[in-house]
């Protein structure tokens, strides 16, 4: 896997965990908030993100994609572990890809081949889109949200290893701006 893709996947992991950390102090009522134009509540959006990423990972690994029943929101703390594990699995699955591999994708009844690398791109887009939804909900209700743009990720990388690129970053607000 090239360095750009790996950086994008590491950013994806960091941003998800920073957003979960920022939402850790929200009440159950606040986690149930929504805003116009977003997927749903904060809690439902986190669950949707995790389920979607699991589907992308299964597809990349060649496992059968399955629709799961709606799972109940377990709380922020358990989600931090699950999101971290999921991101690590996504990175490993992306690293195992060989150029040009395709998979069959059902686009609302039209089955077509799709390069597996596009599944990685979709996973990144999906996470970014729904992190934005949660940020919109927080802002709509005048709640603080984390600064999780790529520049802050770069700063977190620098703080983790000022002398060069870091392989592992602080994830739960440790020495990183939230």
Task: Write the pLDDT tens digit of every residue in 115-141.
Answer: 999 999 999 999 999 999 999 999 999
Sorted by where each begins, the domain ranges of the chain are 3-160
pLDDT band at 67 (very low <50, low <70, confident <90, very high): low
Buried b (16+ CB within 10 A) or exposed e, 141-165: eebebbebeeebbeebbeebeeeee
Q: What is the DSSP string of 67-82?
A: PPPPPPP--HHHHHHH
pLDDT digits (tens, 9 = 90+) for 68-118: 657 899 999 999 999 999 999 999 999 999 888 898 888 899 999 999 999
- Please report how many Cα atoms fall inside a 13 Å half-sphere around the Cα of residue 5, on the Cβ side: 17
CA 101 from centroid of its chain's CA atoms? 23
The reported pLDDT for the residue numbered 104 is 86
Spell out the CATH class of 3-160: mainly alpha
Output the pTM of the full model. 0.87
Cα-to-chain-centroid distance, residue 23: 14
């Amino acid at each position: 896997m090239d360095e750009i893709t790996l950086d994008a996947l590491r950013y994806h992991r960091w941003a998800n965990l920073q957003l979960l950390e920022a939402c850790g102090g929200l009440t159950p009522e606040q986690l149930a908030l929504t805003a116009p134009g977003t997927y749903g509540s904060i809690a439902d959006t986190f669950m949707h993100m995790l389920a979607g990423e699991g589907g992308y990972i299964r597809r990349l690994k060649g496992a059968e994609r399955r629709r799961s029943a709606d799972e109940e929101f377990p709380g922020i703390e358990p989600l931090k572990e699950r999101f971290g594990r999921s991101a690590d699995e996504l990175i490993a699955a992306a690293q195992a890809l060989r150029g040009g591999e395709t998979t069959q994708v059902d686009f609302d009844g039209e089955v077509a081949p799709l390069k597996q690398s596009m599944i990685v791109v979709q996973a990144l887009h999906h996470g970014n889109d729904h992190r934005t939804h949660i940020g919109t909900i927080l802002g709509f209700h005048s709640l603080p949200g984390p600064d999780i743009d790529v520049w802050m990720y770069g700063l977190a990388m620098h703080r983790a290893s000022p002398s060069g690129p870091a392989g592992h970053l602080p994830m739960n607000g440790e020495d990183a701006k939230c």
